[in-house]
Chain A
Amino acid sequence: DIQMTQSPSSLSASVGDRVTITCRSSQNINNYLNWYQHKRGKGHQLLIYAASSLQSGVPSRFSGSGSGTDFTLTISSLQPEDFATYYCQQSYSTPPTFGGGTKVEIK
């Protein structure tokens, strides 16, 4: 299975901050990388697919980049509703696998 490693596992930030989360795969996955947001008690929300494509309805402050083994999710200006846990997921090969998550907390 392809291993997905996210960093950091948690971070504290303030409203308005620029936030960057990194995801690294154990092998080349081209651009087969997706990002999700999860708030406790709710379903996960797809933010970015194919590394950099913004899912319909997702605010433009979210962006994704990267290819190969290194990927980044950026929130350009953190909003109060963005405090949540973020996961990456590869779909290059079966089984699809997820990163361990990055919890974004209020500073």
Chain B
Amino acid sequence: QVQLQESGPGLVKPSETLSLTCTVSGGSVSSDNYYWSWIRQSPGKGLEWIGYIHYSGSTDYNPSLKSRVTISLDTSKNQFSLSLTSVTAADTALYYCARADVGLVVYFDFWGQGILVTVSS
């Protein structure tokens, strides 16, 4: 059974960079069949897909966040990470990591339980 666990600071100051890591167990981030994703949920916007990465290095980001987002992969640690720059209060949300199966239909078949990140001074 694949498990994902988010980690990182729960409080980030405005204008700084939000950095989160997702540790994967029971599966490999080097698998050819999956993309590794970040999704967030804030009270005002519901669930919002941030982006994902394939072990080949291929990435895809939500256009609404693309200028501020980087997702990277560390195969040696079986982890992937999110970096979101220049954060504001609007970036306060529950952040989830998830595995995406990108076959004929793209779906997220395993999710972490989420980490709350608050942007505040």
Contact = CB atoms under 8 A, between A and B. Distances in A.
Interface of chain A, main secondary structure: loop
A100 B46 contact: yes
Interface of chain B, main secondary structure: strand
Interface string A31-54: 110101000011111100110000
Contacts of B110: 43
B106 A96 contact: yes
B62 interface: yes
B46 A36 contact: no
A100 B44 CA distance: 10
Interface in A39-88: 41-46, 49-50, 55, 87
Question: Which of A87, A96, A99, A101 lies at the interface centre, i.e. has the most chain B CB atoms within 10 A of its CB?
Answer: A96
Nearest to A4: B46
Contacts of A42: 113
The 3 A-B residue pairs with the shortest CB-CB distance in the complex, in nearest-first order:
A43-B111, A91-B106, A98-B47
Interface of B: 4, 46-49, 60, 62-64, 96, 98, 104-114
